[in-house]
Chains A and B, each alone.
Chain A
Amino acid sequence: DVKVTQSSRYLVKRTGEKVFLECVQDMDHENMFWYRQDPGLGLRLIYFSYDVKMKEKGDIPEGYSVSREKKERFSLILESASTNQTSMYLCASSTSGTSGSYEQFFGPGTRLTVL
């Protein structure tokens, strides 16, 4: 069974803290994604990684960075958390488009609150 796991379901941090969100997939997928989900705004892509150590900015990368040192793990980093980063963060993975399957598989999400 396909599995994408995220390190925490709920996280509370203070303004200015450095925050790490971890995501692990066990499907040997090339692609991994970080989204944030906000009511009325849907899912917005923060960053995308198509290979180890490779990354690409999404639609809203400001205030975030990512790290992908191993194929199965993709980390989202908030260098200095701010209250407007309070949100639900979703991680997803997929095979590369060249293999013909484009479905993204999602983790359960991390609800981050920044006080």
Chain B
Amino acid sequence: AQSVSQHNHHVILSEAASLELGCNYSYGGTVNLFWYVQYPGQHLQLLLKYFSGDPLVKGIKGFEAEFIKSKFSFNLRKPSVQWSDTAEYFCAVQNHNTDKLIFGTGTRLQVFP
């Protein structure tokens, strides 16, 4: 069965620190990849997505992610976090045979001023 692993469950950073959140998936075929973010009290929203092409994807609010096919990974990065990035981040994978998403368990990010 397909699965998505987010290794960091809770990350605490100071403002201006760099961020990298890991995401690995288990599926050998062609996939679409997503990062969603849920700010406190708000609904889940798309941060960025990868369908094909350049494996380095840029999203909103200065986030980017790199798809490394050989490692089955899609890690999320931001060079300098802000207090407003405090949120929960979810990685999700979709294989090309279905419209369904498989979500990871989420990473809670806390950024302190």
Q: Mark A97-115, 1 if CB is under 8 A from B, else 0.
A: 1000011101111000000
Bound CA span A108–B41, Å: 9
In the complex where A103-B49, A106-B43 touch, is A42 in contact with B99 (Cβ < 8 A)? no
Decide yes or no whether A25 CB sits under 8 A from chain B.
no
Decide yes or no whether B75 CB sits under 8 A from chain A.
no
Bound CA span A45–B104, Å: 12
Decide yes or no whether B8 CB sits under 8 A from chain A.
no
- The residue in chain B whose Cβ has the minimal distance to the Cβ of A50 is B99
Decide yes or no whether B101 CB sits under 8 A from chain A.
yes
Decide yes or no whether A43 CB sits under 8 A from chain B.
yes
A40, A58, A106: the one within 8 Å of B45 (CB): A106
Decide yes or no whether B103 CB sits under 8 A from chain A.
yes
Most-contacted residue by chain B among A40, A58, A102, A106 (CB, 10 A): A102
B6, B101, B105: the one within 8 Å of A104 (CB): B101
**Chain B residues near A109 (CB-CB < 8 A):** 43
Bound CA span A58–B100, Å: 9
Q: How far is the CB of B107 from chain A (nearest CB, A)?
A: 10
In the complex where A45-B100, A90-B44 touch, is A102 in contact with B32 (Cβ < 8 A)? yes
B36, B51, B90, B100: the one within 8 Å of A48 (CB): B100
The size bracket of the interface on A is 20 to 34
Decide yes or no whether A31 CB sits under 8 A from chain B.
yes
Decide yes or no whether B70 CB sits under 8 A from chain A.
no
Contact in complex: B98, A97 (CB < 8 Å): yes
Listed in ascending order, the chain B residues whose CB lies under 8 Å from chain A are 6, 9, 32, 34, 36, 42-46, 49, 51, 90, 92, 94, 96, 98-101, 103-106
Listed in ascending order, the chain A residues whose CB lies under 8 Å from chain B are 4, 31, 33, 35, 40-45, 48, 50, 58, 90, 92, 94, 96-97, 102-104, 106-109
Interchain residue pairs with CB less than 8 A apart (18): A31-B99, A40-B105, A40-B106, A41-B105, A43-B44, A44-B103, A45-B100, A45-B101, A48-B99, A90-B43, A94-B99, A96-B99, A102-B32, A103-B46, A104-B101, A106-B43, A106-B44, A107-B43
